Amino acid sequence: QVQLVESGGGLVQAGGSLRLSCAASGRTFSNSAMGWFRQAPGKEREFVAAISWNSGSTYYADSVEGRFTISRDNAKNAVYLQMNSLKPEDTAVYYCAASLGSLASRSYYTQRRMYAYWGQGTQVTVSS
C-alpha cells in the first residue's frame, strides 16, 4: 500500500519558519515528480512547489517564491518544504503529492491531476 505521510506542521508567528517533511512508503518515487499543495478553508487546493525526479528542476507558486524551498532525498524516499518568512496567508493544510513518473514542463507540475498519490495533509497556522 502506497502511503505519503506529512509531518512538521504547527503554529508559528508571522515571520517564523517551519520545515515540512513527507515520507513515502509502498513504492519508490525516485523517478517521479513530487510536489506540495495547500488548501485554506473555503478555497480550492492550490499548487505551492514541485521538484523533478533528480532535483534538477524546481517550481514555485508566485506567492511563495523566494520564501519556500523544496528539496528531496531519493535515498530516503522523502520530500521536504522549508518555509521561511511565513505570513498569515500561508495558513492552510499542506499536502504532499507524487506523480507516477517524470513530468515534462512547469505547466504539468502545477496541476493537481498530474499527481496520483496524496498524503493526508498537515496543518500550518501562521498567527499575525
The mean pLDDT of the chain is 97
Residues 6+ apart with CB under 8 A from 90: 38, 64, 83, 124, 126
The pLDDT value recorded for residue 120 is 97
In the structure grid, which three cell numbers stand for residue 114, read together?
Answer: 498530474
Q: What number is the average pLDDT over the span 86-108?
A: 95
The pLDDT value recorded for residue 23 is 98
